[in-house]
Amino acid sequence: MRAGISPAGVFGLVLLAAAAAGSFAFLEMPLGALFTGSAAREAVAFVGRFIPPETDPAFLAKVGWAALETLAISLLSTLLAVLGGVTLALPAAGRQGPLARQAARFVLNLLRSVPELVWATLMVLAAGLGPFAGTLALALHTTGVLGRLFAEALENTPRAPAQAVTGLGAGPLAAFLYAVLPLVAPQWLAYALYRWEMNIRMAAILGFVGAGGLGALLYYSLSLFHEAEASTVILAMLAMAIAVDGASAWLRQRMAG
């Protein structure tokens, strides 16, 4: 009689738990401090400084403009990344043979392992200071991320529909469009919209390349302890993120019908 989960599986789980416990021990984290009275007082005092948000019209106009710029940069970079990600995800999911799979995976890993900041520096040199460099930097890193997520979603998708269509003699691209895309589309859409939301927040990087946007504004106000202003910026970012989140939920619900 075979057990439900293999000994190797149990061993793996134990190993993961041990890694987590070991990490906490190594870092000597006094998590208890979180539940002391002074922690609560400090937290309340900190949050109190953010209220009420700054509503000076001139500042609001600045935030509005920065929000538009952020929207443009994040949306364009995500669109570019979706195109790049899909192109690389198809071979990376092993649909064009093992060699193409390894090659595509390596490219994705490389794109992803180079942090946004490094891409930003490279792109500033390549395209000059400004929003365009920020867009490219985010697009490159995001391509690596989306490519990997797309590829793994593909690999986790049932194969029968695609096999049925290739069984009709269809080419790989046609089989993908007719039998795989309808299955992975909700997941891909979720990942793409989610990455868009992340890119809205890529704060420090965009400021670093002089692209402005909400991120730079936030970093600036926090550095100067202008918490009321920071609070307005955070609210603007939150509003955008929640809008994207809601759009994601709505779109996918519509797809599921």
**Which of 76, 73, 43, 67 has the alpha carbon at shortest distance from 235?**
67
Contact (Cβ atoms closer than 8 angstroms) between residue 241 and residue 201: yes
How many Cβ atoms from other residues are within 10 Å of residue 104's Cβ?
23
Write the binding mask 14 to 53 for another protein: x where contact by CB under 8 A, - elsewhere.
Answer: -----xx-xxx-xx-xxx-xx---xx--xx-xxx------
How many Cβ atoms from other residues are within 10 Å of residue 69's Cβ?
19
5 burial (CB, 10 Å; 0-12 / 13-18 / 19+) is exposed
63 is an interface residue for another protein by CB under 8 A: no
Least separation, in Å, of the C-beta of 172 and another protein? 10
Query: How many residues touch another protein (CB under 8 A)?
Result: 122
175 is an interface residue for another protein by CB under 8 A: yes
115 is an interface residue for another protein by CB under 8 A: yes
103 is an interface residue for another protein by CB under 8 A: no
Q: Which of residues 203-222 bind another protein (CB under 8 A)?
A: 203-204, 207-210, 216, 218-220, 222
**Which of 209, 210, 207 has the alpha carbon at shortest distance from 218?**
207
Euclidean distance between CA atoms 73 and 67, whole angstroms: 10
169 is an interface residue for another protein by CB under 8 A: yes
247 is an interface residue for another protein by CB under 8 A: no
Write the binding mask 130 to 159 for another protein: x where contact by CB under 8 A, - elsewhere.
Answer: xxx-xxx--------x--xx--xx-xx-x-
